[in-house]
Structure 1
Amino acid sequence: MIGLIIIGDEILSGRRQDKHLSKAIELLGERGMALSWARYVGDDPERITEEVRHALTSGDVVFSFGGIGATPDDCTRACAGQAAGRPLVLHPQARELILQRSQEMAEEAGQAFDPGAPDILQRLQMGFFPEGATILPNPYNRIPGFTLEGRVHFMPGFPVMAWPMMAWALDHLHRDLHGLGRKREKAIVVYGGIESLLTPLMVSIEARFAPVKVFSLPSVDHPVHGRHIELGVKGPAEMVEAAFEDLQTGLSQFGASTGPITVRN
Structure 2
Amino acid sequence: MNFGLIVIGDEILSGKRQDRHLAKAIELLAARGLRLSWARYLGDEREQIAAALREAFRSGDAVFSCGGIGATPDDHTRQAAASALGVPLELHPEARELITQRMRDMAAEKGVAFDPDSPDNRRRLHMGEFPRGAAIVPNPYNRIPGFSVGEVHFLPGFPVMAHPMMEWLLDTRYAALQGTQRQRERSFIVMGALEATLTPLMEAVEAAHVQVRVFSLPSVDHPQWGRHVELGVKGPAAAADAAFEDLRAGLARLQVQFGPEMVR
Aligned equivalents of 1:213, 1:33: Cα separation in 2 = 16
Secondary structure of 2:41's counterpart equals: strand
Q: Partner of 2:207 in structure 1?
A: 207
The Cα offsets for residues 57-114 of structure 1, whole Å up to 9 and x where unpaired, read as 1110000000000100001000000001110000000000000000100110111100
Q: Partner of 1:120 in structure 2?
A: 121
Task: Tell whether 2:98 aligns with 1:65.
Answer: no
Give the gaps of 5 or more residues in structure 2. Answer: none
Aligned equivalents of 1:245, 1:238: Cα separation in 2 = 11
1:1-265 alignment runs, 5 A limit: 1-149=2-150, 151-264=151-264
Secondary structure of 1:153's counterpart equals: strand
What is the identity, as a one-letter code, of the residue corresponding to 1:221?
D
Once the 2 structures are TM-superposed, how far is the Cα of residue 177 of structure 1 from its aligned partner? Answer: 1.3
What is the identity, as a one-letter code, of the residue corresponding to 1:127?
G
Once the 2 structures are TM-superposed, how far is the Cα of residue 180 of structure 1 from its aligned partner? Answer: 1.4
TM-score normalised according to structure 2 size: 0.99
Aligned equivalents of 2:122, 2:192: Cα separation in 1 = 66
Aligned residues: 263
The Cα offsets for residues 39-59 of structure 1, whole Å up to 9 and x where unpaired, read as 000000011001111111111
Give the gaps of 5 or more residues in structure 1. Answer: none
What is the identity, as a one-letter code, of the residue corresponding to 1:231?
L
Once the 2 structures are TM-superposed, how far is the Cα of residue 211 of structure 1 from its aligned partner? Answer: 1.8
TM-score normalised according to structure 1 size: 0.98
Secondary structure of 1:36's counterpart equals: strand
Aligned equivalents of 1:240, 1:81: Cα separation in 2 = 43
Secondary structure of 1:37's counterpart equals: strand
Aligned equivalents of 1:176, 1:83: Cα separation in 2 = 29
Aligned equivalents of 2:254, 2:246: Cα separation in 1 = 12
The Cα offsets for residues 184-227 of structure 1, whole Å up to 9 and x where unpaired, read as 00000001220001100000000000120100000011000011
Once the 2 structures are TM-superposed, how far is the Cα of residue 242 of structure 1 from its aligned partner? Answer: 1.0
